[in-house]
Amino acid sequence: MTDGLVVVDKPAGCTSHDVVARCRKIFGQRSVGHAGTLDPDATGVLLVGLGRATRLLRFVQEDDKAYTAVITFGVATTTLDAAGTVVDEQSMADLTVEALRAAATGFVGEIDQVPPMVSAIKVGGRRLHELAREGIEVERAPRRVRIDAIDVESFEPGEHPRAVVHVRCGTGTYIRSLAADLGEALGGCAHIAELRRTAVGPFTVADAHLLADVEARNVAVVLSPADMVCALPRVTVDAAIASAVGHGSTFAAHDLLGDGRVASGPVAVLDGAGELLAVYEPRPGSEGRGVKPAVVVRSAS
């Protein structure tokens, strides 16, 4: 079984689950998962975990993300993107790039955002996109999200202006909702015409592989579990501690991390060869003075 991470450049026209299914066939194993769902029409960085590394996906799923979006103003759709049915159309010929940039600044920082009906969030035990397919719309509670930057790269004026924008944001941000809210803030409406995710944490489109490349090169494109959690703080341990880690032992923080250290979050534990043994996290109630295994990647023999 192959353990590790594949950074896929997801094509348009397939779901994130389709990519997982393709990778199962390519690597000949069932244990495959992904972090951070991309819409079918969206492209770009999709992180696919293989084997025991699927249990590490939660540590990369919460990483910050970056997107490039093409926004069409003056047209609203049912899905807030180009795949939906047009529900409103109006001229926004007076819109200027200066007005767009000014409006965008109002969305930078922590904001409340209403999830779109086509999202995977569950309400009453049902995913919103399932309800949307049945023509059902329900109330959605706003969620707090963080947007670090909205940069306007280009702007095409007209009845329905189009803009290319780059967005850097925290996890859980819906770019299609951001586009719709921007349109409303500018006195009209808008939707996402094209969307590409350019980064998830430290992994960018420069690291990503097309599915044909994954199929052709197979394990050559797989990053190690240690590389997968490269953004986490890390500690290298000796053979005795490595054996205890492999058995899932708990530790006083200073015994695992070193004198005077406490754990403020997950920590990657590596052996002397640089291979990932486990990810440890603070033990509840210990105020970081005790640590326990969150995921053991390599068990003791």
Residue 159 neighbours by CB under 8 Å, 6+ apart: 74, 91, 92, 93
- Annotated catalytic residue 39: yes
Coil, strand, or helix at residue 147? strand
* Nearest-angstrom CA–CA distance, 265 and 180: 35
> What residues form DSSP beta bridges with 123?
126
Dihedral, CA atoms, 211, 116, 195, 130, nearest 10 degrees?
A: 30
8 Å CB contact between 264 and 288: yes
φ/ψ region of 295 (left if φ > 0, alpha if ψ in -120 to 50, else beta) reads beta
Q: Where are the beta strands (DSSP E) in 65-131?
A: 65-73, 75-77, 86-89, 109-113, 122-123, 126-127
| CA 97 to each of CA 72, 85, 93, 196: distance values in angstroms, whole numbers, following the listed order | 13, 27, 11, 21
**Contact present, 45 and 208 (Cβ < 8 Å):** yes
Q: Which helix (H) or strand (E) is 166 found in, with range?
A: strand 162-169
55 phi and psi angles, rounded to 5 deg: -75, -10
Rounded to whole angstroms, the Cα distance separating 174 from 292 reads: 33
Write out the two tokens for 195: 């969307």
Taking alpha carbons only, the member of 56, 61, 82 closest to residue 70 is 82
Q: Which residue is catalytic, options 9, 39, 81, 181? A: 39
Catalytic residues: 39
